[in-house]
Amino acid sequence: MLKKEHSDLLTQTGPGTPMGQMFRRYWMPALLAEELPENDCPPVRVKLLSERLLAFRDSQGRYGLIDEFCAHRGVSLWFARNEDCGLRCSYHGWKYDVSGQCIDVPSEPDGSEFPKRIKLKSYPLVELGGILWTYMGPPETQPPRPEWEFATVPPTHTISTKRFQECNWLQALEGGIDSSHVSFLHRSDLNTDPLFRNARGNQYNLSDLRPVFEVVESPGGLYIGARRNADGNYYWRITQWVIPNFTMIPPRGGHSLHGHFWVPIDDDNCWTWSYEYHPTRPLTEEELTAVREGKGVHVKTDANYRPLANKDNDYLIDRPSQKAGKTYSGVHGFGMQDASLQESMGPIVDRAKENLVSTDNGIIMARFRLLVAMKALADKDISPPGIEAAHQKVRSAAFILPPDQPFKEAAKEAFIARPTVAPVSV
């Protein structure tokens, strides 16, 4: 159970809110690079942390992320012409460059200084790993570019997708770090999904429905350990959570690694970013096809990145398949199975009505770490965890240990991302 005032602190991310201020200290995924495919292509609307913005790519290939609305009379610059290194408003011709600086007001006389006084809010936008990242915080605290392994391996080793999710970022995150539901919600897919099947660890997920959770702090967030019985030993699956919104799911067998970012659009919606990569080899054509078809943690979407299965069509739930045991929930695909239940709670779940149990320890500790980091930033301007490169160069892992070996010490090397070392998996 979480008090309403604490829930509000964690879920509200607009300008001026404590959590919003903390989110603005990080580089965040804003768009896929494919959304701005060429110079002078059409601009793209972007809403992040309740701010309405516009992304564009100018004639020299520079990226800009600026306030959506013209400083003249407030019309949307989505209607603007992208030409000659700037966006020209189609209403009265005011023109802005990628920094938001007004560079032309046609109605003003030659030599007028007026345009120099007009500048829209803008944020940096950089490409890394096929993603355009933005930093929306104070310029003086801008950290170095992200160093997540999935975004820094060769392009042939990685692929990312995104989808619109109709609930607050926190309940999506909490679903992502709750691995106890795998033995139920996803049990029908473990041995059939091309990104998970044929892993020896699957049998332990399916045979032990009472995982024991051991959650310990990591430098950047939490190691969330789920322990299951494995023929006299313990099968451990360790999820990495890095503050505030990064997760990495433990791999299965020789499959690729994957995980999520949950990025707030506003308080009622978020972008679910999903990545798939392997640190030591290119992704296979089968893996790439599976991602594009919405397998594994990914979801098939329309042109606006809304899932084809969504709340308007009841997530295409297949009741006969559910009744026959072919799918546990009747919803197809790992990603939509998670999203359908997270969205079913409403835009922001009432956490005061919860009845948490021991398998929710990861969620409990994540909330606590977020509140502590938020307060430290607000009261003492202490930089939150997850910004440093060392906090980002991490991996999840799955392994088998004797009962007397603590996972944090016995497998600590498995949690560090090393470019030439394969993931630890079962």
Backbone angles phi, psi at 20, to 5 degrees: -65, -40
Rg of the chain on CA atoms, in Å = 23
In sequence order, what DSSP letters do the residues of 74-114 get, joined into one string?
A: --BGGGSEE-SSSEE-TTT--EE-TTSBEEE-TTSPTT-SG
**Cβ neighbours around 205 below 10 Å, total:** 24
Nearest CA to 95 among 129, 66, 137?
66
Which pTM does this prediction carry?
0.95
Nearest CA to 223 among 256, 260, 248?
248
Quick one: tokens of 203?
A: 């049998």
pLDDT value at residue 210: 87
Measuring CA to CA, how many Å separate 174 from each of 30, 67, 349, 386? 21, 31, 11, 17
Return averaged pLDDT per consecutive 10 residues of the chain, 426 residues in all: 93 98 98 98 98 98 98 98 98 98 96 96 98 98 97 98 98 88 78 90 88 94 95 96 97 96 98 98 97 96 98 97 90 93 96 90 95 98 97 97 94 94 96
pLDDT value at residue 189: 81
pLDDT value at residue 207: 87
pLDDT value at residue 386: 97
pLDDT value at residue 358: 85
Nearest CA to 163 among 274, 248, 291?
274
pLDDT value at residue 183: 65
Contact 227, 212 (CB under 8 A): yes
Cα angle for residues 276, 281, 286 (degrees, 5° grid): 60
Report the length, in residues, of the chain: 426
Burial class (CB in 10 A: 0-12, 13-18, 19+), 167: buried
Contact 31, 132 (CB under 8 A): yes
DSSP 3-state of 415:
helix
Quick one: tokens of 167?
A: 């609930």
pLDDT value at residue 200: 92
